[in-house]
Amino acid sequence: MKRANEPVFWSLFGAGGVLSALLGPILILITGIVVPAGTGMPPDAMAYPRVLAFAQTWCGKAALLAVISLFLWHAVHRIYHSLHDLGIHAGAGAAAICYGFALVATLATAYLLIIIGF
């Protein structure tokens, strides 16, 4: 029987799943609802200077990369397997698109975080 390479993607899926199961809702609430609505947070919570300073620390870079990258590795794994559940016979091509997207996004985020500076 053919050995599956699933462990690689499942590990990333799991890491992203844990991270998003801890931080997903609160981040969406803060960045997508509370701050844009203008109440419940100081007005400069997501202001450019503050966020830039954050993104220029190693801690901030690690946090941003982990969140964006792992959320995506988790999501694409689930989406890819759900295609099958929906009766879409997703083969290697679909896998390449899904996982490729997460890979490109990871590399792009890393690159952007580097050029943002220190």
Partner 1 sequence: MSARKPYVRPMDGWWRRNPFFMRYMVREASAVFLAVYAVILLAGVYRLSQGAAAYEAWLAALRNPLAIVFHGIALLAVAYHAYTWWKVMPKTMPMLHVGGRRIPEITLSAVGWAAWLAASLIVYALVRGL
Partner 2 sequence: MADSTKTIEMEVLRYRPEQDAEPFYQTFSVPFADDWSVLQGLQYIKDDLDSSLSFRWSCRMAICGSCGYMIDGVPKLGCRTFLRHYYPHKVRVGPLENFPIERDLVVGIDDFIGKLESIKPYIIPREPRTLEQGEYLQTPAQRDRYEQYSSCINCLLCYAACPQYGLNPGFTGPAALALLHRYNADSRDEGWEARSEIVNAEDGVWRCMLVGYCSEVCPKGVDPAQAINQNKVNSTLDYFGVLKFLLPKGEAK
Footprint of partner 1 (CB under 8 A)? 14, 17-18, 20-33, 35-38, 41-42, 45-46, 48, 51-52, 55, 64, 67-68, 71-72, 74-79, 81-82, 85, 87, 105, 108-109, 112-113, 115-116
Smallest CA-to-CA distance from 74 within 48, 47, 106 is with 106
* Partner whose footprint covers residue 2, from partner 1, partner 2, none (CB < 5 to 8 Å by kind): partner 2
Contact by Cβ (8 Å): 113, 65 = yes
Contact by Cβ (8 Å): 9, 99 = yes
For the CB of residue 43, give the shortest distance to partner 2 in the complex, in Å.
Answer: 43
Binding string, residues 11-40; x marks residues near partner 2 by CB under 8 A: x-----------------------------
In terms of C-beta density within 10 A (0-12 exposed, 13-18 middle, 19 or more buried), how is residue 103 classed? middle
Window of 1-9, 23-31, 49-57, 90-98 that interacts with partner 2 by CB under 8 A: 1-9
Among 1, 59, 92, 115, binds partner 2 (CB under 8 A): 1
C-alpha 7/C-alpha 115 separation (Å) is 33
* Alpha carbon 109 to chain centroid, angstroms: 10
